[in-house]
Amino acid sequence: MLAEKLNNTPVVPLVQADDPEVALKTVAALQAGGLDIIEVVLRTDAALSCLEAIAKEASGAIVGAGTVLSESQAKEAVKHGAKFIVSPGLNDDVVKFCQAHKLEVFPGVVTPSEVQRAWNLGLRTVKFFPAGLSGGAPMLKALSSVFRGMKFMPTGGVSTDNLKDFLAIPSVIACGGSWLTPAKEIEAGNFGAVTELASEAVKLAAEVRK
């Protein structure tokens, strides 16, 4: 279901919010622009409440938790409605918890050894993070040529400028990022800007993934 949705719209916006109401407005704006798969990063005290509000109230959205660093955080995230888990790094406990609960998990990797460790843990999808600083699309192409069958979600430094470069790589399942939810616009209540960024990303993705 998640893979199928990502195939249609391979862009995952990050939501970092202090207030469930703002989180819901942000998600509504993203959905209005065509983005339904949302990653709420666990980087604020209210992140779990924001996650729960989206899981319960944002109809049509599929919400996951990002910046999950431990098994206990993964458990909490699931209790609050997370349908998938994203981590900046590769942690065996988080991966094994998700595998045991049949939850899609995207742990962060950069190096060939990390990709190989993920592969040996049985993973076939990982996050490539931080994508921009770790060699960008050329590095991802090099990794993909060796680890055939591994899918990647580049995140970290992805923007309108390089989205198409990443999405043009066949092993890329989706790109994630915070460029779609700029704090400045959200704080100013300018949710229209979020919808515009989402629509632009959907358009760019469609140009590459015809």
Determine if 154 is a binding residue for ligand 3PG (CB under 6 A): no
Minimum CB distance to ligand 3PG smaller for 33 or for 66: 66
User: What residues contact residue 54 under an 8 Å CB cut-off, 6+ apart?
Assistant: 15, 20, 23, 24, 27, 38, 40, 61, 63, 81
Q: Is 39 designated active site? A: yes
Q: Which of residues 163-182 bind ligand 3PG (CB under 6 A)?
A: 176-179
Minimum CB distance to ligand 3PG smaller for 67 or for 91: 67
Determine if 13 is a binding residue for ligand 3PG (CB under 6 A): no
52 in Cβ contact with 38 (< 8 Å): no
Minimum CB distance to ligand 3PG smaller for 34 or for 108: 108
**What is the bridge-based pairing of β-strands 11-15 and 104-106?**
unpaired
Q: Please pick, from the candidates 10, 20, 34, 66, the single residue that binds ligand 3PG as defined by CB under 6 A.
A: 66
Q: Please pick, from the candidates 81, 135, 157, 182, the single residue that binds ligand 3PG as defined by CB under 6 A.
A: 157
Q: Which of residues 81-140 bind ligand 3PG (CB under 6 A)?
A: 129
Site string for ligand 3PG, 29-48 (x = CB under 6 A): ------------x-------
Minimum CB distance to ligand 3PG smaller for 29 or for 131: 131
Q: Which two tokens stand for residue 155?
A: 């995140």
- Residue 193, judged by CB atoms within 10 A of its CB (0-12, 13-18, 19+), counts as middle
Handedness of CA 80, 188, 67, 102 (dihedral sign): positive
Q: Is 4 designated active site? A: no
Q: Name the minimum Å distance from CB 179 to ligand 3PG.
A: 6
Determine if 155 is a binding residue for ligand 3PG (CB under 6 A): yes
Contact set with ligand 3PG (CB under 6 A): 14, 41, 66-67, 129, 155-158, 176-179
Cite the active site residues. Answer: 39, 127
